[in-house]
Amino acid sequence: MMYSKKLLNKAFMILTAIGLALWLSGCAEGEAPTSPVNLSGTISVPDGVASDGSKVTVNLYHAWALEGPLRHPVEFIESFETAAGEYSFSFDYPIENGEGLLVYAWIDLDGDGVHCTPKIRADRAGLTVVEDFPATDITADVMLDVPCAGPDWFYPPAPG
Amino acid sequence: MRIQIIIVTCCVLLLGACGGNPEPGVVVDGQRLAVVDMHLHTGRWEWTPPRFRERITERIPRGFKWVGEYLTDTWLSGDGILGFLDSAGISAGGVFGLYSPHTTGNAPNEFVAEQIATDPTRLFGFASIRVDQWNVDSDEQLAAFEDALTNLEGIIGVKLAHAHQQFRFDDPRYYEIYEIAGRLGKPIYAHAATSPNPGTRTEPPYTNPYYLEEAIRLYPDTIFILGHTGWDSYYRKLTDVDACIDLAQRYANVYLEPGALGAKRAAEVLPDFVQRIKKGKVIDKLIYGSDGPQFPGYLRSHLEAFVGAMQDADYTTEEIRMILSDNFSRVFDMPKFEL
């Protein structure tokens, strides 16, 4: 069978374009799967600590993420602000980025916007491990009683 | 797959054919000065978290990102780093270990020792320590750290990156790291800045060097080199530069390093930075580093930008020589680098 050169060129161009489109589409990133979570609970401070009006920053973390030598605890998910007392927050938990859920919070008692300065060590922090997870509706109470502590202060806890 | 290998090979050959290596050093006022780049990274693709893989392949066109693994493993090997040093005319470099599974991944101490063994006269290692499960295994990690500092060949210092490793500068549970480094005479390079890399902490307790001041004061025998000198690359500002300079002025055991300030990302602030260093009279405390290799040509372009900025700010040849190599030799107790 004989084909004209023009026809062959056209066919080649079409095939190249299709191949390129397929190749590039194979690299496209899809939406990361998530699961809805409704979180609520109570954030409290020790007796004698005045917390009225103080901003509380809550950070949500996976308890663990990745595998092998890269496996590590305390992988950040997202953050929100609230105040001491009852709170609630809904978010989309990224299923493939890690496992478990930690609720860490710190309270800005002196209102300076940072979690302690080198000289003023009043702000308090706490962390709660959500035991019954995964779940959609979760209660996590957090006691903020350790000054100037990051999440690694609490998790993973020391053995025993 | 065969086509892919051919493309990679052609790219590498083309890159290699881009020209020979320049003469070593940089010419300043008619004198050729030796250069040491104390801030270089090693590592492997397999120890790189997915999120950082995406970042380091940002520059690679879509459809060709599969070359990321090959390029990472090649460029960050001992041979690769030496090739980059040669192409930039740099005499020697510090190669950093790191355990940062949250952000940029791991470069284990033993791996660093293997890479610097490629040429121990030009590559010097900085060991690190894993801290992400400190309540559980700090004793084990401290023992491994001390063993690496004591027994691995070519390890001259310590690399820490609190913002990457997610631990506060002011957390006393980690102070034993500083004690060990001081006792063994290994200066600590401590990343004191934000970072554009995903997952890195940006809050002051992880980035502002004043949070490290208590440790600096408690361990006067430990040398702290404040990495990036407070250059806030996340917000592209000199946020904590003056704090770093202040500490370097007040403490004999504090030095500075300007990694990434010669990068394009910092082009607008570099002139201000070198002026502040000069005005603060801490030229004898600044040890040159680039935060390379990053990509072909980066070491050279960073060096040229930095030297150009110093010349524009009327640094003397002797001052530039101190920053480019003599301060490194003095702090790490090495002979001066000559060309």
Q: Give tens-digit pLDDT for A82-97.
A: 999 999 999 999 999 9
State which residue of chain A sits closest to B104, comparing Cα positions. Answer: A70
| Bridge partners, residue B160, by sequence | B190
Top-confidence residue, B116 or A19: B116
For A140-152, the pLDDT digits (tens) are 999 999 999 999 9
Query: Rounded to whole angstroms, how far apart are CA atoms B84 and B118?
Result: 14
Taking contacts as CB-CB distances below 8 angstroms, the residues of chain B near A70 are 47, 49, 101, 105-106
Of A72, A148, A159, the CB nearest to B101: A72
Q: Do A159 and B101 touch (CB under 8 A)?
A: no
Q: Which two tokens stand for residue B210?
A: 């004043």
Between A and B, how many residue pairs show a Cβ–Cβ distance under 8 A? 73
The per-residue pLDDT of chain A, averaged, comes to 88
pLDDT for the residue numbered A16: 52
Q: Which residues contact B81 (CB under 8 A, 6 or more apart)?
A: B40, B42, B75, B93, B95, B115, B118, B123, B293
- Domain span holding position A107: 34-153
Domain count, chain A: 1
Q: Does A76 touch chain B (CB under 8 A)?
A: yes
- What domains does chain B contain, in order, with CATH numbers? 27-331 (3.20.20.140)
Alpha carbons within 13 A on the beta-carbon side of B139: 3
Does residue A87 belong to any structural domain of this protein? Answer: yes
Top-confidence residue, B306 or B63: B306
Does residue A25 belong to any structural domain of this protein? Answer: no
Please choose, from the candidates B33, B51, B13, the residue with its C-alpha nearest in 3D space to the C-alpha of residue B327.
B33
Does residue A72 belong to any structural domain of this protein? Answer: yes
Top-confidence residue, B71 or A3: B71
Segment among A3-7, B116-120, B203-207 with least mean pLDDT? A3-7
Does residue A80 belong to any structural domain of this protein? Answer: yes
* DSSP reduced 3-state for A104: strand
Q: Distances in Å between the alpha carbon of B229 and those of B54, B160, B295?
A: 27, 14, 22
Peptide linkage before B293 cis (omega within 30 of 0): yes
Does residue A7 belong to any structural domain of this protein? Answer: no
For B197-228, the pLDDT digits (tens) are 999 999 999 999 999 999 999 999 999 999 99
Q: Does B63 touch chain A (CB under 8 A)?
A: yes
Query: Rounded to whole angstroms, how far apart are CA atoms B79 and B59?
Result: 23
Tell me the CATH number at A74: 2.60.40
Segment among A18-22, B77-81, B208-212 with least mean pLDDT? A18-22
* CB contact residues (below 8 A), chain A span 50-69, against chain B: 66, 69
Does residue A2 belong to any structural domain of this protein? Answer: no
CA angle B282/B129/B226 to nearest 5° reads: 10
Does residue A71 belong to any structural domain of this protein? Answer: yes
Q: Do B132 and A73 touch (CB under 8 A)?
A: yes
The answer, yes or no, to whether residue A25 has pLDDT greater than 50, is no
The per-residue pLDDT of chain B, averaged, comes to 94
Residues in chain A: 160
Does residue A3 belong to any structural domain of this protein? Answer: no
For A26-78, the pLDDT digits (tens) are 445 568 899 999 999 999 999 999 999 999 999 999 999 999 999 999 999 99
Q: Above 0.85 for ipTM, yes or no? A: yes
Task: Please report which confidence band the pLDDT of residue B251 belongs to, taking 50, 70 and 90 as the band edges.
Answer: very high
Peptide linkage before B187 cis (omega within 30 of 0): no
Instruction: Say whether pTM exceeds 0.80.
Output: yes
pLDDT for the residue numbered A152: 98
